Amino acid sequence: MKLLFVCLLLGSLAMTPQPPKTKVIAHRGAWKNTNVPENSIAALQHAIALKCYGSEFDVHLSADSVPFVLHDHSIQGVFIEKTSAAELSKIKLSNGEALPTLESYLLAGKNQTQTRLILEIKTSQLGKARSLALTKKCVELVTKAGVASITDYIAFDFDVCLEVKKLSPRAHVQYLNGDKTPGQLAAAGLDGFDYHFSVLQKNENWLADAHQRKLSTNAWTVNDETIMQWLMDRHVEMITTNEPEKLIQLLNK
Ligand code: MG
């Protein structure tokens, strides 16, 4: 009888669904511990080699409407949005790579399905029309490169998020700015949030609320083990980090 009880207990424990493991997203690729420039194709390749769930990167539009991958609005004193693609293509990163166009970056991430391409559409400093023009270009290039099935979108501009869903209804889109509740994101038809971890610490119920609404949850940019663990304890779906190696180790503890 006792044995039967133990068997039943073990059986029911085995059948209790465990929350899925938190997924690792390399912020601007895996660059910090590999000594390559952030947002370089080399950083993307390192994130793929680490088997990260995703590799994040940032995109701006050149003066003549070609999207380039980099974080800041300018590089080596050159303002991206006011410079032609021909001029930008002459710029070299510190590892000798050319400043990647979005097209070259997407093609480098193609032919693998391990690591998702997490495309951040940056907000233009020249106005909303340019942010929306960049959005359209990004969706077009993702389709053209044949990587739609492995690409997700993030943006700080709520209108940009809505525009991606309009242009590509099946695309997965997360909002970055932290000022919308899970209810507001769901009502707008977005897929989830990617919020700074401090927003989630301030609004402790947002993770549970988002899970209930079947929204995806992602926190940036978490490099500290204590905060990683705080988020994992609350079943955050993804963590975006400059330290993917550290997070992988923590997940495998
Ligand atoms: Mg970014």
Distance from the first to the final alpha carbon of the chain: 36
Please report the pLDDT score of residue 8 as a whole number: 57
Residue 126 has pLDDT above 90, yes or no: yes
Q: Which residues make up the environment of ion ligand 1, defined by Cβ < 5 Å?
A: 58, 120
- Ligand 1 centroid–CA 188 distance in Å is 22
Residues 6+ apart with CB under 8 A from 160: 121, 123, 131, 132, 134, 135
The model's pTM is 0.94
Please report the pLDDT score of residue 2 as a whole number: 60
Average pLDDT, the chain: 95
- Ligand 1 centroid–CA 58 distance in Å is 5
Distance CA 176, CA 195 (A): 5
- Ligand 1 centroid–CA 27 distance in Å is 7
- Ligand 1 centroid–CA 18 distance in Å is 30
Residue 123 has pLDDT above 90, yes or no: yes
- Ligand 1 centroid–CA 57 distance in Å is 6
Please report the pLDDT score of residue 18 as a whole number: 74
Please report the pLDDT score of residue 16 as a whole number: 65
What's the Cα-to-Cα distance from 26 to each of 19, 56, 136, rounded to whole Å?
A: 22, 6, 25
